[in-house]
C-alpha cells in the first residue's frame, strides 16, 4: 500500500486528502473547489511558513448552485457518510459529510458563500484548479466581523505567499476585491477595518523583516486599490448612514458530525 494511503483510499492527513478529493472531482467533471484554511495551505506552493501553520479539523468546499445531488453522489462514492437529515433539509444550500475513520467533517456550500457578508463566487468558481481564486479566498477570511486567530493566521499566510496585483492566478486580484467592496458598503466597511487590524497582528508572528514587508505592502496595495475604486450613488448613500445601522449578519453556527 502506498505510504499515507489507507485501504479505503482516504489519506490520514487532511491536506493530502483535500488534494486527493479535489483531483478526483476534476477528473470526474465535478466543479468542486476548496475554501477555508486547507485551501490556503494547498495554494502555498512552497509550503506554509512555520509561523502560519496550524491544525485543520475539517475540509470545506463550494460547488455551483444546482449541483447538490451530483455532489452528494460524488462524496458517497468516496466513502464519506452523509449527514442525511441535515442534507435533506438544507441540501440546496449546504451539505455535510463525515469521514468516520478520521473523525473529521466535510462542509460543502452550494452556490453561495454567506456568513457575515456574502462573497459572490459562482461566476469565477472554475477560474482556478483545486481552490477558489485567491481574491475570494482572502475575502472569505476578512469578511468576518471579529477575526479569530485562525482567520488572522490564514490571511497573513495568503499575503505572505502571494503578491497583490491586478490579475488572478498566483496573485490576489486587487481589482476584483475593490470592485466587490465598491458594490457593497457593508463589505467595504468590514474588509477595510480588518485590513487595518491585520497590520497590527503581523508583528506577532515569527516572520523575517522581508516577509513582514511583503505582508504590509500587500495590505497597503489592497487598501489603496479599494479606496480609489469609484463608488456608485447607492454606496455613497449607505455610507452616510454609516455604523448607525448594522452592516453585517451574525450567522448561526451549524454543528455537524454524528
Which cell is 182 given?
Answer: 465598491
Q: Are 164 and 171 in contact (CB under 8 A)?
A: yes
pLDDT value of position 224 = 98
Say what the pTM is. Answer: 0.92
Q: How far is CA 95 from CA 86, 182, 240, in A?
A: 7, 31, 39
- The pLDDT of residue 255: 41
| pLDDT the model gives residue 111 | 92
Per-residue pLDDT of the chain (258 residues; tens, 9 = 90+): 344 555 468 899 999 999 999 999 999 999 999 999 999 999 998 899 999 999 999 999 999 999 999 999 999 999 999 999 999 999 999 999 999 999 999 999 999 999 999 999 988 999 998 999 999 999 999 999 999 999 999 999 999 999 999 999 999 999 999 999 999 999 999 999 999 999 999 889 999 999 999 999 999 999 999 999 999 999 999 999 999 999 999 876 434 333
CA atoms within 13 A on the CB side of 171: 15
Nearest-angstrom CA–CA distance, 32 and 142? 22
What is the model's pLDDT at position 6?
A: 56
| SS3 track for 32-59 | CEEEHHHHHHHHCCCCCCHHHCCCCCCE
Per-residue confidence (pLDDT) for residue 256, from 0 to 100 = 36
Pair 160, 52: CB distance under 8 Å: yes
- Break the chain into its structural domains and give their ranges: 14-244
DSSP-derived secondary structure for 135-187 = HHHHHHHHTSSS--HHHHHHHHHHHHHS-EESS-SSSEEHHHHHHHHHT-HHH
**Grid coordinates representing 205?**
508572528
What pLDDT, on the 0 to 100 scale, is given for residue 122? Answer: 87
Q: Are 188 and 243 in contact (CB under 8 A)?
A: no
Q: According to the model, what pLDDT value does residue 119 have?
A: 96
166 closest CA partner among 221, 121, 228: 221
Amino acid at each position: 500500500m502506498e505510504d499515507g494511503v489507507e485501504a479505503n483510499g482516504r489519506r490520514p492527513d487532511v491536506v493530502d486528502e483535500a488534494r486527493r478529493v479535489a483531483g478526483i472531482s476534476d477528473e470526474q467533471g465535478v466543479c468542486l473547489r476548496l475554501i477555508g484554511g486547507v485551501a490556503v495551505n494547498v495554494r502555498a506552493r512552497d509550503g506554509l511558513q512555520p509561523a502560519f501553520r496550524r491544525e485543520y479539523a475539517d475540509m470545506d468546499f463550494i460547488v455551483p448552485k444546482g449541483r447538490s445531488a451530483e455532489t452528494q453522489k460524488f462524496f458517497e462514492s468516496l466513502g464519506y457518510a452523509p449527514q442525511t437529515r441535515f442534507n435533506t433539509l438544507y441540501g440546496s444550500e449546504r451539505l455535510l459529510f463525515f469521514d468516520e475513520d478520521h473523525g473529521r467533517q466535510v462542509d460543502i456550500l452550494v452556490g453561495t458563500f454567506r456568513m457575515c457578508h456574502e462573497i459572490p463566487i459562482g461566476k469565477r468558481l472554475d477560474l482556478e484548479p483545486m481552490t477558489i481564486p485567491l481574491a475570494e479566498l482572502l475575502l472569505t477570511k476578512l469578511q468576518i466581523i471579529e477575526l479569530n486567530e485562525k482567520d488572522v493566521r490564514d490571511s497573513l499566510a495568503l499575503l505572505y505567499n502571494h503578491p497583490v496585483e491586478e490579475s488572478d492566478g498566483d496573485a490576489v486580484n486587487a481589482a476584483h476585491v475593490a470592485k466587490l467592496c465598491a458594490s457593497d458598503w457593508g463589505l467595504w466597511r468590514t474588509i477595510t477595518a480588518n485590513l487595518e487590524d491585520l497590520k497590527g497582528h503581523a508583528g506577532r508572528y515569527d516572520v523575517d523583516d522581508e516577509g513582514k514587508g511583503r505582508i504590509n505592502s500587500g495590505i497597503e496595495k489592497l487598501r489603496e486599490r479599494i479606496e480609489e475604486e469609484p463608488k456608485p450613488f447607492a454606496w455613497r448613500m449607505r455610507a452616510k448612514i454609516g455604523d448607525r445601522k448594522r452592516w453585517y449578519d451574525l450567522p448561526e453556527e451549524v454543528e455537524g458530525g454524528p
